[in-house]
Amino acid sequence: MPSFGTARSPLGEIGVVSDGTAILRVAWLADPPAGTDAGPDPLLTEALRQLTAYFGGTLRDFDLPVDLGRQSDTTRTVLTALHETVGHGDTVTYGGLARRSGTDVPARGIGAIMGANPVPIIVPCHRVVAGDGLGGYSGGMPGQGLAAKRWLLEHEGALPASLF
């Protein structure tokens, strides 16, 4: 049975689901449930520790097994290429990620694949940007996607800190 826990972040409360062998889901919680904890799942405990360290600025690379769930082969290939080739502090354009993944997905399709990512931050879809700006982001609290993406990229040093 999957375990659930939460971690606080500067962008809001984040929920994490683990099945004990892989992290299945990471999501911002608009209404965090009261009294949740990691329970007896050591992997979930470690995921919450790593997320806290990441947001605290002391962790750059996650070392967690992830399960992307039911995805098309193309989606899995693109998300795996992102996870394996775009490190902390780096960005890649939607088209650049399509090329890295060896798929023939157009840039707009890469954006849709980023929206299907069940484990944002760990599989860093926030590091995928448009050729002429930030692009989109479905993470963060409701209505705060682009602000969350900007914060994450500034936090990693991929963007200069905003003046405002």
How far apart CA 112 and CA 93 sit, in angstroms, is 14
CB 12 within 8 A of CB 28: yes
| H-type alpha helices, the chain | 42-55, 73-85, 94-101, 107-115, 145-155
Question: Exposed, middle or buried, 27 (CB in 10 Å: 0-12/13-18/19+)?
Answer: middle
Quick one: DSSP state of residue 58?
S
The gap between the terminal CA atoms of the chain, to the nearest Å, is 44
Catalytic residue among 125, 128, 148, 152: 125
Active site residue 127: no
How far apart CA 37 and CA 34 sit, in angstroms, is 9
What are the φ/ψ torsions at residue 122 (nearest 5 degrees)?
-70, -50
Which are the catalytic amino acids? 125
